[in-house]
Structure 1
Amino acid sequence: MTSYFARYQAGEHDDVWRDLRALGLTAFDEPHREDAQAVAREMADRARRNVETVVERLQADGFVAARNDDEATPRPAHFPPSDGAADLADWLEETFAPFPMTVSAWIRQVGDVWLVGEHPLWPQSLLADPLVVELEYSVHGGGAREYFAEEWQNWQDDADDSEDADDAQPFQLDFAPDALHKANISGDGPYGIQLPGIGVDGLVGPTLWFVDDLNTAFSSGGFPGSLYEEGYIDPPEGLREGLARDLLRL
C-alpha cells in the first residue's frame, strides 16, 4: 500500500487527511505512526512557507502587525520557533497524550503567527478574523509551558469539583483570540485545540479540524472572516486574491 506521506507529496492532501483522521488513535501506533508524523511535518513545512509568503506580501503593502489593544502597539507578525519550541512540544505530547501531531509539528516548525494589524489599503482587515496561531507566546517572552500547566491544573480542579463529570467541557489549548477580540471588541472565548487529542489532527471546537481551519485561512490570504455587523468592508479588488496567490494546500 502506498504510504500516506507519498500520497501527500503527490498532491492527495485532502484525501490523506480524511484517511489519517479515520484511523483515530491508531495513527499513534505502528505501522502508521512514522508515516503520519512525516505527513504532519510536511504539512508544517508547507504552512511555514505560506506564512512567510503572506507576511512578506503584507509588509510590501505597508502592513504593520499590532497588538489588539487600545494603543495598537506594533509587534512582529511572525516569530519563528524559538530554541525552546521542541521542549514545549515534547512536554505537551507527554502531558496531553495523545497530542495531535499536526499541532506539535506547527510548534516545532512554524512558530507564532499574528496577522492582526493595520493595513493602509484595507483598514477593515481587523474585522476579517486575521490568522493567529500563538502556542509559544513568543511576543510575551515565552512562558507558554507555565501558562498551559496552570490552565490544565485549574481545569482539573474544576472537574474534580463538578457534580457531574460527564458535563465537564474538554480542556482547550488556546492559540488565538476569537474574531471579535482580534479587533479589540468584546466577544466570545478564544480559539483552541481540544485535548487530549483523538488522532493525528487537532479539533478546533467540536467539529472543525486544525488543518481545515488553516486551509480556509490561507485560501483567503490569511483573512477568512467578515464581521459585517461591526462595519466590515471588502478589501480593494484583488488584494485578498493577491495575498492568497499560489499558497500551498496543507
Structure 2
Amino acid sequence: MIFALAILPVAVLCKFSGNYRLPSSMLHYSLRFFVTKVLTVLGVISIEEIVGLKSITPLKPAIYVCNHRGKLDGPLILSYINYLKPTMKSKYARRPLFKILVSWFGFCEVDVQSNTGLLQTEQKCAEILKVQNVLFFPEGTRKTGDRLSDFKKMAFKIAINNKVPVIPVLLYNEVPFMTKKFSSFFPLMRVKFKIHFLEPVQTTDKTVYELTNEVYRLMDAELIKMSRPTKSKVMVST
C-alpha cells in the first residue's frame, strides 16, 4: 500500500492521458521489489519454487485464477505478472485505502450482493481484457490446507464471454501466513512459498460448467503435488 500511495500521482496523470501501462508496470515492479527483496531480506518469506512462469505472456489478455491462502496472495502474483488487474470484494474495495487501488490502478470491485453489481463487474472485466489481464480467486475466501474449496463461476463465465484463456496459478506454503487467524500475521519462522503457473486452458466450445470443472481438477491435482515435501532448495522452471 505504501508503494501504491507513492506512485499515485503518476497513476492519476496516466489515467487522464489514457496510458494504462505505466501505472500497472510501476505497481508491478514496486511489489516485485517489496516481495523479493524487502520481505526476503527481512527473513519473512522465501520463494522456494517457481514453475511455468516463463511460458506466460503477460501482454496477451487472459483470466488468471489462483487459490487463496492469505492476504499476501494478490501482491505475490502481481509481483510476477505485469498488466494484471485483481478483483476485490466490495467490503474491501470500499475501504478508504483500497479505494485508491480501485479508482486509480484499475482494480476490479466485485459486488456479490446485487445483480447490478455483478453486471458492472463483468463489464469492467470485459473492458480490462481488451488490453490487460484479470486476476480472480475463485474460492472466494482464504483457505489453508491441501485441497481447494468449490469454485465460484464468475471468472470462467467472463473468460468464455470474452474469448480469453484461463491461466491457473497455485500457491502453497506449509506455514500459515496472513490467513484468517491473527497469529498467522506474525509467523515464528520464515514462510516458504511454492508458485506454479499451469498451461493456459482454452475456452472455445466449452460451457461455464465444463470450464470450471476442468480448471478445478487441474488445480486441485497440482496443489496435492505441491503439498508433498521437497528438498529445501530454490527451483525455477519454465
TM-score range, shorter chain: under 0.3
Higher strand share: 2
Higher helix share: 1
Under a length normalisation based on structure 2, what TM-score does the superposition of the two structures give?
0.27
